[in-house]
């Protein structure tokens, strides 16, 4: 995964250009090359069937039979999540542990996109920067990034119905989001690993919302991951390796003996948040927890995969050498990636923010002693939704729910308990037809002449549409 300059690829330590051949996506190159001509891609072969996630049935990305959540349970979860989302600030301030537990159980599919926006703080960012995405979208962009982005579009989930057609709406929105980010952070530009992350977001929300969630991931959850020198991901590789020593000593000893550097197997895992590694049902569950709890979820997933792949002498019998070990990490056992097993292992693994931050200081000190100061000064990493929410002082105002029905002045309801008082006070008085209407907080709203119950404010309508479209 690399900048166009080739400084950040996955093909070799410290670069990020060969996504197709990285661990966890065996056969990705074949998958991409099998797309064929544009006429084939754009529907020459009859009507396609897709699975519940939108992947074409029969492709490598499609999933087999899955354990379905009973409909009654799903409806109960949806009701609980709707209550949380409609009272988000109160829940985040007083019942964050309950939010975490519900994220671990899995966010209902109908509300996943909306929940990710709230958890990541992307909704707050959008409210605070109204119109910013449209400005970036209309700007021409830097040609050196546009060419690289265009070349990458067809590689992102080519068997998903949203991205299967060259130049289709999915690829167009992906281009818009990635181009906007290069303008938003010109010093950082574009990294190939951002493309699958943005694509996952676009499967669940419109382009503008996906852009701000991507900004939050790059700036709050994984700061420095997509910078040119890949220093942040290299540091996290050393942190992962050190944690492996504690939680899976057999795997640690084997990788040390084979002199396999962490960046050779964990770069794509972490930079793409496992979106190109795990089965799709597992990807979504991991992302639900990642948005809530932060980068520690990625560390836990990595440790679980390494532990159950290389964590015993029995498992190591078939991968004695360096080549065999890397091949094993490229073709992980499907059983250890299965949703129910993996999620339970992630929840039970006791890796905390404190472990990560303590190890970060140790590895940073070693880095400075051996390589000098970091060249990329990244913002402080925030560990999940609670930390991000606490860092946004204006979030409470931004997340006030917009009214779905706007009443004309003649039908505005008085505050509770004030009906009789207003009746006595207003006897014999006639107010102006379109004058200021006092509210409870003392502010005044000027009603427009001829207002109708069907005339909703633009902001109210657009916010509702963006939420309900993806329910």
> CB–CB of 123/211 below 8 Å?
no
- In angstroms, how far is CA 170 from the centroid of its own chain? 17
DSSP 155: G
- Name the burial class of residue 399, with classes exposed (0-12), middle (13-18) and buried (19+) by CB atoms within 10 angstroms of its CB: buried
- Which residue shows structure tokens 């809530």? 292
**Is residue 331 within 8 Å of 271, Cβ to Cβ?**
no
Tell the residue number behind the tokens 């479209």, with chain if given. Answer: 469
**Phi, psi angle pair for 274, to nearest 5°:** 65, 15
Residue 199: both structure tokens together:
């694509």
Burial category of 347 from C-beta neighbours within 10 Å (exposed 0-12, middle 13-18, buried 19 and up):
middle
- pLDDT for the residue 174: 97
Nearest of 465, 5, 456, 457 to residue 229 by alpha carbon: 5
Using CA atoms, how far residue 179 sits from 102, 124, 141, 146, 174, in Å, is 34, 21, 6, 7, 8
118 or 35: which leads in pLDDT: 118
Average pLDDT over residues 366-388: 88
Residue 407 in tokens: 């009443």
pLDDT tens for each residue of 19-39? 434 444 433 433 333 343 333
Q: How confident is the model at residue 148 (pLDDT cuts 50, 70, 90)?
A: very high
Q: Answer whether 319's CB lies under 8 Å from 264's CB.
A: no
Percent of the chain with pLDDT over 90: 60
Which of 55-59, 94-98, 197-201 is the least confident region?
A: 55-59
Q: How many CB atoms lie within 10 A of CB 19?
A: 27
Buried b (16+ CB within 10 A) or exposed e, 130-164: eebbeebbeeebeeebbebbeebbbbbbbbbbbbb
Residue 372 has, within 13 A of its CA and on its CB side, a CA count of: 2
CA–CA dist 330, 314 (Å, integer): 19
pLDDT at 170 over 50: yes
pLDDT tens for each residue of 432-460:
444 444 444 444 444 444 444 344 433 33
Per-residue confidence band for 314, with pLDDT thresholds at 50, 70 and 90: confident
Rounded to an integer, what distance in angstroms lies between the CA atom of residue 244 and that of residue 300? Answer: 10
């Amino acid at each position: 995964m690399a900048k166009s300059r080739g400084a950040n690829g996955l093909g070799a330590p410290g670069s990020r250009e060969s996504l197709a051949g990285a661990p966890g996506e065996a056969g990705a190159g074949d998958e991409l090359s099998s797309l064929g001509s544009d006429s084939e891609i754009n529907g020459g072969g009859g009507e396609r069937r897709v699975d519940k996630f939108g992947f074409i049935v029969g492709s490598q990305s499609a999933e087999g039979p899955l354990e379905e959540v009973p409909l009654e349970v799903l409806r109960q979860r949806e009701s609980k999540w709707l209550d949380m989302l409609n009272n988000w600030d109160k829940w985040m301030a007083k019942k964050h542990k309950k939010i975490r537990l519900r994220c671990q159980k899995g966010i209902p599919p109908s509300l996943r996109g909306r929940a990710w926006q709230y958890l990541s703080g992307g909704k707050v960012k959008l409210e605070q920067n109204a119109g910013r995405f449209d400005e970036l979208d209309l700007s021409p962009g830097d040609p050196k990034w546009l060419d690289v982005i265009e070349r990458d579009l067809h590689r992102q989930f080519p068997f998903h119905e949203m991205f299967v057609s060259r130049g289709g709406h999915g690829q167009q929105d992906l281009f818009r989001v990635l181009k906007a980010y290069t303008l938003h952070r010109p010093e950082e530009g574009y990294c190939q690993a951002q493309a699958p992350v943005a694509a996952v977001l676009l499967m669940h929300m419109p382009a503008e919302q996906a852009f701000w969630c991507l900004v939050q991931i790059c700036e709050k959850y994984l700061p420095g991951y997509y910078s040119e020198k890949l220093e942040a991901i290299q540091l996290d590789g050393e942190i992962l390796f050190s944690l492996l020593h504690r939680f899976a000593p057999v795997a640690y000893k084997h990788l040390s003996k084979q002199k396999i550097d962490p960046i050779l197997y964990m770069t794509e895992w972490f930079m793409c948040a496992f979106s190109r590694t795990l089965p799709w049902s597992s990807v979504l569950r991991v992302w639900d927890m990642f948005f809530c709890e932060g980068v520690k979820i990625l560390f836990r997933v990595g440790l679980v995969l390494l532990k159950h792949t290389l964590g015993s002498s029995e498992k190591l019998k078939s991968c004695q050498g360096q080549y065999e070990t890397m091949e094993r990490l490229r073709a992980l056992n499907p059983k250890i990636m299965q949703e129910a097993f993996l999620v339970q292992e992630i929840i039970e693994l006791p890796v905390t923010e404190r472990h990560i931050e303590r190890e970060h200081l140790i590895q940073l000190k070693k880095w400075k002693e051996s390589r000098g100061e970091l060249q990329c000064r990244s913002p402080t990493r925030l560990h999940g939704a609670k930390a991000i929410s606490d860092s946004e002082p204006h979030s409470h105002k931004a997340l006030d729910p917009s009214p779905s029905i706007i009443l004309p002045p003649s039908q505005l309801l008085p505050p509770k308990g004030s009906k009789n008082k207003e009746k006595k006070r207003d006897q014999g008085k006639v107010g102006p037809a379109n004058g200021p209407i006092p509210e409870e907080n003392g502010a005044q709203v000027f009603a427009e002449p001829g207002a109708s119950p069907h005339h909703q404010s633009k902001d109210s309508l657009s916010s509702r549409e963006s939420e309900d479209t993806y329910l």
